[in-house]
């Protein structure tokens, strides 16, 4: 990402084409009750004009996928990372037993765009990348021309990391509890009732104890994904990196043992500055 592009995004916003994301369609009289028992947030609060972010967790409370959910008059629409298309469908279908629910993969039928900034059109409110924005769902074949800069995948990844937004499978994966990635306020509701993994996550909420915690950092030296984060011993791993378009510094995200978060952290001997 160039300095000029970064300044343009900061001042005017941007658009991204998310049409490759997996898209699932839930219908049936029990769809809200059913999905509410599968995800970490309260699906009963989903609106037609505002999306809800949530995680699908396993019985141990770890993340099986993260989803954005919004409602139409007779259905719920979910979207997730492209790599989760098959596994998430299988995970959700597994728990449809006597429920009046039908799950359909509509990935190839819909476009999905996200726009933020002053030129954002009317759409479903959603804050996917650290800024208030809107999602625009369109049937495949229809034309959409946003009145702002359209980011490619590389530029969007830089923006995501600068905004400290965790992503599957880098920070979010089958080893991660949602609170470890800072999703407690954004993707979780502790008053909604039972869902798969709820007991473990409620215990983490009560004790405040979890194995790891996501950090955001910067350094003037090169750092790579997979590099070890250390104190006097290895305490974590770098999960995402990019170059800041203004300073030229390496900025990144990492997962670190909770007990080491307040310590001086280094990669290859270089002290990381927290962001």
Architecture of the domain made up of 211-275 = Beta Barrel (2.40)
Q: Tell me, what's the pLDDT at 92?
A: 96
Domain boundary assignment for the chain = 3-162, 211-275
Q: Tell me, what's the pLDDT at 136?
A: 97
Q: Tell me, what's the pLDDT at 119?
A: 87
Given this structure, which CATH class describes domain 3-162? alpha beta
pLDDT tens-place values along the chain, 275 residues long = 999 999 999 999 999 999 999 999 999 999 999 999 999 999 999 989 999 999 999 999 999 999 999 999 999 999 999 999 999 999 999 999 999 999 999 999 999 999 999 889 999 999 999 999 999 999 999 999 999 999 999 999 999 999 999 999 999 999 999 999 999 999 999 999 999 999 999 999 999 999 999 999 999 999 999 999 999 999 999 999 999 999 999 999 999 999 999 999 999 999 999 99
Q: Tell me, what's the pLDDT at 60?
A: 97
Q: Tell me, what's the pLDDT at 118?
A: 86
Q: Tell me, what's the pLDDT at 41?
A: 98
Whose CA is closest to 129, among 170, 172, 161, 177?
161
Instruction: Answer positive or negative: Cα dihedral of 130, 71, 177, 184.
Output: positive
Q: List the structure tokens of 164.
A: 């400290």
Q: How many CB atoms lie within 10 A of CB 100?
A: 12
Question: Hey, which bits of 122-189 come out as E strands?
Answer: 124-126, 133-139
């Amino acid at each position: 990402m160039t300095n000029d592009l970064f300044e343009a995004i900061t001042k005017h916003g941007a658009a991204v084409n998310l049409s490759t994301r997996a898209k699932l369609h839930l219908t049936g009289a029990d769809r809200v009750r059913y999905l509410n028992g599968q995800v970490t947030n309260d699906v009963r609060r989903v609106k037609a004009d505002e999306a809800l972010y949530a995680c699908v967790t396993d019985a141990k409370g770890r993340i099986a996928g993260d989803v954005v959910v919004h409602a139409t008059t007779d259905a719920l629409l979910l979207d997730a990372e492209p790599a989760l298309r098959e596994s998430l469908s299988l995970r959700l279908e597994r728990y449809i037993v006597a429920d009046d629910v039908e799950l359909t993969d509509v990935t190839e039928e819909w476009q999905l765009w996200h726009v933020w900034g002053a030129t954002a059109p009317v759409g479903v409110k959603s804050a996917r990348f650290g800024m208030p924005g809107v999602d625009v769902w369109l049937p495949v074949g229809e034309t959409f021309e946003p009145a702002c800069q359209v980011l490619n995948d590389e530029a969007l990844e830089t923006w995501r990391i600068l905004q400290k937004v965790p992503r599957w499978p880098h920070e979010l994966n089958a080893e991660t509890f949602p609170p470890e990635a800072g999703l407690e306020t954004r993707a979780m509701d502790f008053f909604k009732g039972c869902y798969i993994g709820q007991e473990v996550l409620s215990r983490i909420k009560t004790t405040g104890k979890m194995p790891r915690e996501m950090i955001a950092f910067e350094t003037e030296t090169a750092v790579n994904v997979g590099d070890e984060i250390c104190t006097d011993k290895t305490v974590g791993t770098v999960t995402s990196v990019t170059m800041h378009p203004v300073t030229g510094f390496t900025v990144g995200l990492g997962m670190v043992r909770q007990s080491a978060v307040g310590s001086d952290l280094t990669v290859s001997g270089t002290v990381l500055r927290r962001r």
